Homo-oligomer: A and B are copies of this chain.
């Protein structure tokens, strides 16, 4: 209490020392540049058994020389403070000011303030703070001025400079340079210690992430920390995936924080005899996102699945959406695409989506698919349109559209003689981790994603007012869709076949293209039913063993109303991991495996990640297909609530939007709904006509009713489910 008072006083003092500003400034930079820079920083933090382990794809970089400007009309003169990361010059109305001013005075009237910043190692960035003049994303930037002069010094009236609006993460402290950006940390402690070798294993109780702190370290010799997501891994000093070796030479006790964050539940501490330490703790590092979505139901196991999924997802939500916290700690597009969707039903953190999309795409020229994976390029397109659908942020689509075009130009340039995509040197055709999965020839799954990406390009071209190309992309998408069904649909198998080899369709049926065809809505209603029966619910078709593709498989089934079936699958699959003691969800789970077999992957005994973002899909499935909330028009201007208990007694939860939450409670007799945004359509399947106060109930088809949901009102519907 005493301390708290002190803090409050201090805060008041600190604030009173600052001038009172009408506008909020933030650090700004060339759009996308800080995203690229910081993703380089983050992705280069991976180590494997003490070795630096960077990505293998191209890492891009920021523009090292950037010009910022804005025009202002001031009613009175204004003092403006300047903070810059880099070497810079300042111009008012094109006239340079000597030196590196920290404060400038701008006279009343219309004036143009420009800063040009050079920074090779960090992103050129500025923070400008006056009373009305502040740096924000309304400033214009360029990486090249296309002006020219004559020998009298006169500037030509013909300019070719392209300006784009500045990028920002809303970093609002002028004294903290963008390059020093770090996620927050909080101290946490082990819950158990167990003797092992000359030292002990500390158990932090559950999967976690951060920096180990060794307290009271003293002596001379070596201290080794072996990290484990499982106890087995931490005890395997030869095979654990991550470790820290410290050369200690301390006459007096000293605390030591490891320089790199690690993922672990267990830490095995082993020291030379001459080295001692009092204890260890950790600095838990986390992304300060807000938990907005929620889910609770009559099924305790399902609730646990939801909670562990959300924890798993939060751990993998960092500066960017990454795949796994032990490894790869990289931004993989296929993984991130699922994270985006989970995010819309949990944190609804738009900035992390934008950062991740920008970081993945990097800079031109495109020299490879995103992460070098063909399918991953396509997920990137899909992620952008989803972002627009959920947030309504048209400006971001317009800003990123040129980078969409150059990636699509790269892809279009790789079509084969049949107008289809097949492996070319440099491509990785991933699809999924699965035994004996053929990547040869023209794989139907890739063509399907290609078609969907062309549709996305058409939609985004329209948003960017590029109508000519919108028509072209639309035409290309339609032609490709027709071709897909002409070439891959097998009437006898009631399915799209997996691939064509040497211009001939194979007999091989896999789940991939077929499940995507369902939620892409590419099939006729008859085809859908046939695919459900002959592929999705057919045990003879090779099973999926990654949560990654389970995501889409279960989504396809939910899209066809199979919530009851999917609920059982969820409980069996994710519940299966929980029964094995999982405190976060895994990269891969095959119920047929036993014991430590579950830990193995990539030929390494502890190669598997036990905390993988793609393991968290129940967040998405429960929000979208059980609570049943999804946008129809961008940014939830209109949306649907179509709750489906799937056999549960009751459930309740919140789905976040850009303008507040949508709350749903449902049991077999009652539905309660309220929303902070847009106009919703509550769709109810009921044996009798539902009853609701102050709202109209419309029967849209036999046994299906609709109630219009206005924002700010509480609806309490009685029905018979």
Query: What residues of chain A have their CB less than 8 Å away from a CB belonging to chain B?
Result: 37, 40-41, 44, 48-65, 87-89, 96-100, 116, 118, 120-122, 143-154, 156, 158-161, 245, 364-365, 367-368, 372-373, 423-428, 430, 433-435, 588, 601-604, 607
Contacts and interface: CB of A to CB of B under 8 A. Distances in A.
Q: How many copies does the complex hold?
A: 2
A445 to B, nearest CB: 16
A429 B117 CA distance: 27
A53 B365 contact: no
A64 B61 contact: yes
18 contacts: A40-B64, A50-B98, A51-B97, A51-B98, A52-B118, A53-B89, A54-B65, A55-B65, A56-B146, A57-B145, A58-B144, A121-B122, A144-B367, A144-B372, A146-B425, A146-B426, A146-B427, A152-B602
B425 A158 contact: yes
A500 B367 CA distance: 40
Contacts of A152: 602-603
A146 B372 contact: yes
Contacts of A120: 37, 40-41, 61, 121-122
A442 to B, nearest CB: 16
A434 B152 CA distance: 10
A44 B118 contact: yes
Given A146-B368, A149-B602, A154-B603, 8 more contacts: A44-B87, A44-B118, A54-B89, A146-B427, A148-B372, A148-B373, A148-B430, A158-B423
A426 B143 CA distance: 13
Contacts of A367: 144
Given A40-B120, A64-B61, A433-B151, A52 B100 contact: yes
Contacts of A60: 64
A152 B158 CA distance: 60
A87 B158 contact: no
A604 B153 contact: yes
Contacts of A50: 98-99
A56 B63 CA distance: 13
A190 to B, nearest CB: 26
Nearest to A100: B52
A51 B89 contact: yes
Contacts of A161: 426
Nearest to A154: B603
Contacts of A61: 61-64, 120
A48 B96 contact: yes
A54 B144 CA distance: 11
Contacts of A148: 372-373, 428, 430
Q: Which of A41, A48, A61, A161 is the most central at the interface, judged by chain B CB atoms within 10 Å of its CB?
A: A61
